[in-house]
């Protein structure tokens, strides 16, 4: 069999398949529906990012100063670190030049960050007050994975129940006795991190000996069910 014959047979098969699909009638008595459920829950994870900046004429000196500040903060933080309760993560450590109007390097500036996160809210609040080589740059709260999964399960059950109720009601209103599911998609949102108010951060940064004042706030978990149903007689 020649290459031309094979190509011709493949094209003929593709055309036959397309024609068969085209001959099928469009779905009848299909309704698209959507239902959702939202549950508010208390945030249970606190995230604090500490940072420090240094600048000077020599890049090596600035880098050394940043490292000393970060090492001192880590040494203090490690005294309180506990898996799941108080966890540490070093963040941005950058060094970049400062230029004059003529494009000549006049000095160096750098930044170092340390992130503290966990469910031991009082412990984290007190720890940030004991770290003196870095200041608070950002504060946020969120849901732990365990809390989110628990609430997401409740929201999913409620959203599915609402979807089924809508499907049954749609069938009744259109004069049908029931329905069958065609396709369904279940999705959930990712609750945004709650950021502390600017005044809260300013107060915490004004006196490093004070514990960080924190209000965790609430997060909202939303689950949405989308899909289509086939109405049946």
| H helices, E strands: number in the chain | 5, 8
Question: Do 188 and 106 share a structural domain?
Answer: no
What is the distance between the alpha carbons of residues 46 and 191, in angstroms, rounded to a whole number?
14
Which H or E run includes 22? helix 3-23
Residue 54 contacts residue 109 (beta carbons within 8 Å)? yes
- pLDDT tens sequence across 17-71: 555 545 566 778 999 999 999 999 999 999 999 999 999 999 999 999 999 999 9
Residues 115 and 180 in one domain: no
From 107, 124, 142, give the residue that closes a domain.
142
> Do 126 and 156 lie in a common domain?
no
Place of tokens 């050394």: 64
Q: Looking at residue 66, what is its pLDDT?
A: 97
Q: Report if residue 227 sits inside a domain.
A: yes
Residue 92 has pLDDT above 80, yes or no: yes
- Do 152 and 223 sit in the same domain of this protein? yes
Q: Is the pLDDT of residue 210 over 90?
A: no
**Total structural domains within the chain:** 2
Domain-embedded: residue 148: yes
In what helix (H) or strand (E) does residue 36 lie, and over which residues does it extend?
A: strand 30-42
**CATH number, domain containing residue 92:** 3.30.70.360
Contact 28, 232 (CB under 8 A): no
The tokens for 117 are 């996160």
Structural domain that includes position 180: 26-44+143-192+216-233
- How far apart CA 50 and CA 93 sit, in angstroms, is 12
Tokens of 59: 């890049």
The reported pLDDT for the residue numbered 110 is 97
Instruction: With respect to residue 197, please indicate whether it lies within any of the assigned structural domains.
Output: no
Domain annotation covers residue 21: no
**Is the same domain home to 91 and 68?**
yes
Alpha-helical runs (H) found in 83-231: 121-130, 145-173, 198-206
Q: Is the pLDDT of residue 179 over 80?
A: yes
Q: Are residues 53 and 134 in the same domain?
A: yes
The radius of gyration of the chain from alpha carbons, rounded to an integer in Å, stands at 30
Task: Determine if the pTM surpasses 0.85.
Answer: no
In a domain, 69, yes or no: yes
Residue 232 sits in a domain whose CATH number is: 3.30.110.170
* Residue 119 DSSP SS3: coil
* Residue 13 belongs to some domain of the structure: no
**How many whole angstroms separate alpha carbon 95 and alpha carbon 119?**
32
- Name the helix (H) or strand (E) containing 139: strand 135-142
């Amino acid at each position: 069999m020649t290459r031309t014959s094979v190509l011709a047979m493949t094209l003929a098969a593709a055309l036959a398949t397309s024609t068969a699909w085209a001959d099928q009638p469009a779905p009848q008595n299909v309704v698209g529906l959507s239902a959702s459920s939202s549950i508010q829950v208390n945030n249970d994870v606190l995230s604090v990012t500490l940072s420090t900046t240094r600048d000077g004429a020599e890049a090596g000196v600035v880098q050394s100063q940043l490292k000393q500040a970060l090492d001192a903060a880590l040494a203090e933080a490690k005294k309180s670190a506990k898996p799941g309760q108080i966890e540490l993560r070093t963040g941005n450590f950058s060094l970049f030049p400062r230029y004059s109007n003529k494009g000549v390097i006049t000095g160096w500036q750098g930044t170092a960050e340390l992130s503290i996160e966990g469910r031991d809210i009082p412990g984290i609040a007190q720890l940030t007050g004991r770290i003196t080589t870095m200041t608070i740059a950002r504060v946020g709260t969120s849901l732990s994975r365990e809390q989110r999964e628990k609430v997401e399960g409740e929201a999913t059950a409620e959203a599915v129940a609402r979807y089924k109720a809508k499907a049954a009601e749609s069938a009744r209103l259109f004069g049908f006795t029931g329905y069958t599911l065609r396709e369904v998609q279940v999705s959930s949102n990712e609750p945004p991190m709650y950021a502390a108010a600017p005044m809260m951060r300013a107060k915490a940064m004004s006196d490093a000996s004070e514990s960080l004042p924190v209000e965790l706030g609430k997060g909202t978990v939303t689950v949405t069910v989308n899909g289509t149903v086939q109405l049946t007689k």
